[in-house]
Amino acid sequence: MSEQNNFKPFVSPQTNMKELTLKSILVGGIFGVIFGASTVYLALKAGLTVSASIPIAVISILLGKLFLKT
C-alpha cells in the first residue's frame, strides 16, 4: 500500500449537474418510439424478436454525441 493514489475525477464532486431535463425526456421519448417500432416490425416480419437493449444503448450514445453534443 505504498503506492500513492492520484485519482482525479473527470467531474468534480462539487459540480451540480441536471439529470432530468426537457431535452432528455424528449430525446428519450423519440428514441423509445423509433426503436420500439423497429423491434415490433422485426418481431412481426420475422416471427421472433431479440433483446435490443445493448444495440439501442450504443446507437443512442452515438447519436447523442453526434447531433446533440451531450
Percent helix / strand / coil, the chain, rounded to 5: 60, 0, 40
Is 15 among the domain residues? no
**11, containing H or E segment:** none
Is 12 among the domain residues? no
Residue range 2-50, pLDDT digits in tens: 567 788 888 888 888 888 889 888 988 988 898 888 888 888 888 877 7
Torsion, Cα of 8, 14, 20, 26 (10° steps): -60
Domain count, the chain: 1
Is 36 among the domain residues? yes
pTM of the model: 0.58
Is 58 among the domain residues? yes
Q: Residue 57 sits in which domain range? A: 25-43+50-68
